């Protein structure tokens, strides 16, 4: 190898990429099932302090109360997903959620809000026929991640904090994964982590849009690595916009931050710039319609020009009991107050904000992928939510499938014996990945902020809430040009320790690649379904013959195919209710 060679090799049994709900649950389940296995959790920031699960406000969907059922939760999930879901994945989600919520409370010590009779309190979220969202006020994610992180720390599981995964490295014969190339952000040095099993749980994060909710470290790294490794992704056109992102001005990173769905579930109104409600024009459920419907309605109202001073609309709770709003949504009230808004007594300006990616790596119910030894869970994966995720199903997805992946990896390694030994990595793939990361270090520094702004404009204007063939074709051309412009500029490589400009370059490289797949998948789907709305094809066609969109990289091109949805449990027009 050249002087860009990996400077250190680390070996572990299980390598987990990501420390959100999926990654930490997987780590704990591996440790419970096979304590003799060495488990290493690698994270781009600090364990327990970064990622999206910690930012979850609303809660966790699970059928617990009398009158609710797994079947009812399943039907809400399938109908919300517009019949694109992998039904076995969705069924496992709603069924295992009942087990996982008790594990969170009884084994990990989470304290969720309770009713006066001691039962778990569940609140209303949009798009559901039953109030089933378990929560800890409006700070549910912090409660879950704190308890999970405590367990990882107390058990002494290995951690690689401030380590960035940059490439999935195959075995020399290409038959399986051998490990992951990483950068130690503290030094800028490369490390090859060899592992018998790898879990991809880095989270998604549609931060390529002008308004977005995820933390800045979420730059679709896992999806980009999976694409470069030859894996298929599905449903990439399905990017969920949360209707109520805080609009506080261009000068603050608070813009785009979610004001949780429970506010609308509790009775908040959406108002136009003149103070008039408008949702009843778009859906009989009003403000409690699903996120895709509400976001499109808001976008249409914004295009009509009846907007607030910052160009958004308003969320108002002033008609509700102010004391109760302050009590039940303490975190939201305080967050708005920090930005100069009175959520409980007045109104707050909001805008639809890119929130979650329903698409991701194709995976099986047990967490396995088509690459032997590579497993996936959480927002890196596709198929669970179909065309639209119900609020409250996201953290359930991460914890359910993180635990399942942990169980599967432990059993897979224990059963495999010598056949599941460490594989020799493809040295050419390692060197190529190192050289790819070092590209910007040898080129003259350029304006990365200009690249970031142009990417946000392309995705918001042309691949956003409402799309058509012309805007998508324009975006595809613009993204190719943007990637060429990024490749032509570099960064100051004099000191690689915490060289955030270097990492920004790599972030943008991944975001542009995944943006190209979103655009290609959106061009390929010539009907409207869930979060994907084509103004030139506004109708949803033929549910009985539904197909999902699969994407792969072929050379420099994005290849798309339409694959039939397998209705394994229920077909359009049928229901499981009453069984």
Active site residues: 242, 264
Both tokens of 465, joined, read 């809430």
Distance CA 131, CA 134 (A): 9
Both tokens of 41, joined, read 């959790």
Rounded to the nearest 5°, which phi and psi values hold at 366?
A: -85, 5
Question: Are 294 and 355 a contacting pair, CB within 8 Å?
Answer: no
Distance CA 561, CA 8 (A): 40
Rounded to the nearest 5°, which phi and psi values hold at 28?
A: -70, -40
Of 117, 95, 179, 111, nearest in space to 144 by CA: 111
| Torsional sign, CA 538, 542, 547, 553 | negative
Both tokens of 282, joined, read 């778009």
Residue 460, Cβ density class (10 Å: 0-12 exposed, 13-18 middle, ≥19 buried): middle
Distance CA 471, CA 479 (A): 12
Distance CA 420, CA 473 (A): 45
Of 166, 173, 162, 170, nearest in space to 436 by CA: 166
3-class DSSP assignment, residue 321? coil
458 — alpha (psi -120 to 50), left (phi > 0) or beta?
A: alpha
Helices and strands of the chain, counted as H and E runs: 14, 18
For residue 390, give Cα distances in angstroms to 197, 220, 261, 387, 578.
31, 21, 10, 10, 22
- Bridge-based pairing of strands 233-234 and 39-42 is unpaired
Both tokens of 436, joined, read 């790819």
């Amino acid at each position: 190898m050249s002087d860009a060679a990996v400077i250190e090799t680390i070996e572990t049994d299980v390598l987990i990429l990501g420390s959100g709900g999926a990654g930490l649950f997987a780590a704990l389940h591996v440790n419970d099932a096979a304590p003799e296995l060495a488990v290493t959790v690698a994270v781009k920031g600090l364990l327990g302090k970064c990622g999206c699960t910690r930012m979850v406000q609303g809660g966790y969907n699970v059928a617990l109360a009398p009158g609710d059922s797994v079947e009812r939760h399943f039907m809400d999930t399938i109908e919300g997903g517009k019949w694109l879901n992998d039904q076995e994945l969705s069924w496992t989600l709603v069924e295992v959620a009942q087990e996982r919520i008790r594990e969170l409370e009884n084994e990990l010590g989470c304290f969720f809000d309770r009713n006066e009779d001691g039962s778990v309190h569940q609140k209303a979220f949009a798009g559901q026929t039953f109030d089933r969202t378990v929560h800890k006020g409006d700070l549910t994610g912090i409660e879950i991640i704190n308890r999970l992180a405590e367990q990882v720390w107390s058990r002494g599981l290995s951690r690689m904090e401030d380590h960035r995964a940059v490439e999935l490295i195959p075995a020399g014969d290409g038959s399986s994964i051998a490990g992951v190339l990483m950068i130690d952000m503290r030094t800028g040095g490369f490390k090859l982590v060899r592992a018998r099993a790898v879990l991809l749980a880095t989270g998604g994060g549609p931060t390529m849009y002008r308004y977005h909710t995820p933390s800045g470290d979420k730059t679709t790294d896992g999806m980009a690595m999976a694409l470069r490794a030859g894996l298929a992704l599905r449903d990439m056109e399905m990017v969920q916009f949360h209707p109520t992102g805080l609009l506080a001005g261009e000068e603050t990173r608070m813009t785009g931050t979610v004001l949780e769905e429970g506010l609308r579930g509790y009775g908040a109104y959406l108002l136009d710039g003149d103070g008039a409600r408008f949702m009843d024009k778009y859906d009989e459920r009003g403000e409690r319609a699903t996120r895709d419907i509400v976001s499109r309605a808001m976008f249409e109202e914004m295009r009509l020009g009846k907007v607030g001073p910052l160009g958004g609309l308003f969320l108002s709770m002033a008609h509700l009991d102010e004391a109760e709003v302050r009590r039940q949504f303490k975190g939201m009230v305080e967050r708005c107050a920090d930005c100069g808004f009175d959520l409980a007594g007045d109104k707050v300006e909001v805008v639809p904000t890119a929130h979650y990616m329903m698409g991701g790596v194709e995976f099986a119910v047990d967490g396995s992928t088509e690459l032997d030894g590579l497993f996936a869970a959480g927002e890196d994966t596709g198929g669970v939510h179909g065309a639209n995720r119900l609020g409250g199903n996201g953290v359930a997805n991460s914890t359910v499938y993180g635990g399942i992946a942990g169980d599967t990896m432990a059993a897979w390694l224990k059963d495999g014996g010598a056949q599941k030994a460490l594989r020799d990595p493809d040295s050419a793939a390692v060197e190529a990945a190192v050289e790819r990361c070092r590209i910007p270090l040898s080129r003259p520094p350029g304006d990365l902020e200009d690249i970031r702004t142009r990417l946000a404009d392309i995705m918001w204007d042309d691949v956003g809430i409402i799309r058509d063939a012309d805007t998508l074709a324009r975006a595809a051309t613009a993204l190719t040009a943007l990637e060429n412009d990024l490749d032509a500029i570099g960064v100051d490589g004099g000191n690689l320790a915490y060289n955030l400009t270097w990492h920004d370059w790599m972030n943008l490289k991944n975001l542009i690649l995944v943006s190209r797949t979103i655009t290609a998948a959106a061009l390929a789907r010539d009907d409207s379904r869930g979060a994907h709305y084509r103004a030139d094809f506004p109708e949803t066609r033929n549910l009985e013959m539904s197909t999902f969109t699969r994407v792969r990289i072929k050379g420099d091109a994005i290849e798309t195919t339409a694959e039939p949805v397998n209705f394994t449990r229920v077909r359009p027009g049928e229901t499981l209710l009453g069984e």
